[in-house]
Amino acid sequence: MMTPDRAPRLGLDAVHHIRVPRAVVSDVHDQLRAAGRHHREAVGFWAGVQENAVFHVHAGYVPKQLAGEMDGGSLVMVDGDELFRMNVWLHEHRLTLIAQVHSHPADAYHSDTDEEYPVMSRVGGLSIVVPDYAGADFDLVSAAVYRLGRERDWRALSVEDTIALIEIVEGTR
């Protein structure tokens, strides 16, 4: 993921606007929904290119994953090999992650596990939780959106802040 030949990039916390094509949103969301039909949580990612304060999402990525249960709650895991594969893919396509998106069986919120073990770990990155195993179409109002702060604390964004930050672009892009 290192690009020593380039000037240092601004961090993701400099991003004030994220443009994500509807097709990418739907691609990831459909895969979350497919897992949900089997009562499994699932996680996917939005990847793209940062241009100063604007982040252009170009692709979705859904790694191989394992869904399971722990302490009565469900969770989804991506092992190290799969994370490595994703990082290679990102590097080859010159993309970086801006958001992880995962489903919950019912309510959308950040669980303790979500707080402690995010894949998205860069300051300024987003973690988006969708309710009801992604059964309904994705929308920014019913999703719970968190952003990683400089103190490595996940901050819940209000619906207003979410809508100001994320723009779903209709059409192919």
Residues of the shown chain interacting with Zn ion in the complex, contacts defined by CB under 5 A: 111, 114
Contact residues for 127 (Cβ-Cβ < 8 A; gap 6+): 99, 100, 102, 110, 114, 118, 120, 145, 146, 147, 148, 154
CA–CA distance, 95 with 55 (Å, rounded to integer): 11
Token look-up 């989804």 returns 76
CA–CA distance, 70 with 67 (Å, rounded to integer): 10
- Residue 7 or 70: the one with the smaller Cβ distance to Zn ion is 70
- Residue 65 or 111: the one with the smaller Cβ distance to Zn ion is 111
- Tokens representing 141 are 């109002």
- Residue 21 or 36: the one with the smaller Cβ distance to Zn ion is 36
Residue sitting closest to Zn ion (CB): 114
Q: Smallest distance, Å, CB 34 to Zn ion?
A: 18
- Residue 31 or 114: the one with the smaller Cβ distance to Zn ion is 114
DSSP state of 115: H
Q: Smallest distance, Å, CB 95 to Zn ion?
A: 24
Sign of CA dihedral 79, 114, 108, 123: negative
- Residue 101 or 114: the one with the smaller Cβ distance to Zn ion is 114
Q: Smallest distance, Å, CB 153 to Zn ion?
A: 17
**Residue 44: strand pairing partners:** 101
Q: Smallest distance, Å, CB 33 to Zn ion?
A: 16
Q: Smallest distance, Å, CB 22 to Zn ion?
A: 24
- Tokens representing 45 are 């990612």
